[in-house]
Amino acid sequence: ILSGSEDAKEKANKMGYPVMLKASAGGGGRGMRLVNDEAEVDNAYKSANREAVTAFGNGDIYIEKFIENPRHIEVQILADAHGNAIHLGERECSIQRRHQKLVEESPSPVVDEETRKKIGDAAVKGAKAVNYLGVGTVEFLMDKDRNFYFMEMNTRIQVEHPVTEMVTGADLIKQQIRMHAGEKYPEYLQNFKLRGHSIECRLNAEDPSNDFMPFPSEITSFHMPGGKGVRVDTHAYAGYKIPSHYDSMIGKLIVHAKNRERAINRMQRALEETIIEGPKTTIPYHRAIMDDERFKAGNFDTSFLETFEYDSEKYMHKEGIS
């Protein structure tokens, strides 16, 4: 934890610019500031500190080296009270806006078996070093050469945990409870094999054409897709009033298929069948992402959406439907 902006400058000069200042209690991209040189440190530190205090009630800030145009790769871990810890593969989380994930998938299209073992072993080693218990996520940044750098650990169930469940068959909520009840982790997960490919799209009540402005309002019509390999996690329904005080996510659409190409095709169909009337949503934006050739080829990093061209008219079902 940094003691102040002068401490940040000292550490940044040692590791080299650019660096990232991050709130230790942060999440969802809040309390984060990119710093390109020493002249920016003071303002960036004060700004990150203020935002962290407002959002989390904790203004502690730490510093890390900024990796330009990385991929965001995270590893799911499971640890019991008997000293055992395993990983359940990785998730690709590079499709983000404002450092918040929009699309997640497992496995990552760029992680091979050798890299999976290395990054998985690193995550397990970190969990064991702190005697971790339960389900958690170790997050890394990965460069174009598949070198990976520890970013943070989320000591909780993640929004995107369903894609791991779909490719491993593990019920992570059930395992979280069992681990904290003192049970040993299931040995069948020790040598798991990833089964196919899974993708998740976060359904947010936001207007993608207006810088993802939140769109709290009443849902007047609500229809979710179904069928083989399609899962929906949501609390919303027709008549539900989306509040303005909380996160804009109103659901998660998850698909599973034999391989990534088929998973993308299944997600495209599922999104086309999804109807939410009332608020603007990210549904048409997700359809555009699924159609993008760079996304289909797995050729993207965390800067993908900065250059992504979204044609809202093309992907609207019809007037008044998101």
| CATH (domain of 15) | 3.30.1490.20
Question: Is 155 within the bounds of a domain?
Answer: yes
- Given the residues 50, 156, 195, 294, the one annotated as active site: 156
Whether 156 has a pLDDT exceeding 60, the answer reads yes
Residue with tokens 């395993």: 86
The pLDDT of residue 320 is: 43
Last residue of a domain, one of 33, 65, 97: 65
205, 306: one domain: yes
Measured distance CA(105)–CA(312) in Å, rounded: 24
Helix or strand run (H / E) with residue 255: strand 249-257
Confidence label for 317 from pLDDT (cuts 50, 70 and 90): low
Confidence label for 221 from pLDDT (cuts 50, 70 and 90): very high
Q: Mean pLDDT of all residues in the chain?
A: 94
Question: Is 321 within the bounds of a domain?
Answer: no
Active site residue 156: yes
Confidence label for 319 from pLDDT (cuts 50, 70 and 90): very low
DSSP string, 162-184: HHHHHHH---HHHHHHHHHTTPP
Last residue of a domain, one of 189, 222, 252: 189
How would you class 235 by CB atoms within 10 Å of its CB: exposed for 0-12, middle for 13-18, buried for 19 or more?
A: exposed
Total structural domains within the chain: 3
Question: Is 245 within the bounds of a domain?
Answer: yes
Measured distance CA(311)–CA(298) in Å, rounded: 21
* Domain enclosing residue 109, as ranges: 71-189
Tokens of 102: 């929009």
Question: Is 302 within the bounds of a domain?
Answer: yes
Statement: the pTM of the whole predicted model exceeds 0.95: no
| CATH (domain of 77) | 3.30.470.20
Confidence label for 316 from pLDDT (cuts 50, 70 and 90): confident
In sequence order, which residues have a C-beta less than 8 Å from that of residue 260 and are 6 or more positions away? 105, 109, 197, 199, 298
Least reliable range by pLDDT among 66-70, 203-207, 274-278: 66-70
Last residue of a domain, one of 149, 166, 189: 189
Q: What mean pLDDT do residues 190-214 have?
A: 95
- Over pLDDT 70: what percentage of the chain? 98
In sequence order, which residues have a C-beta less than 8 Å from that of residue 133 and are 6 or more positions away? 79, 80, 81, 179, 180
Question: Is 114 within the bounds of a domain?
Answer: yes
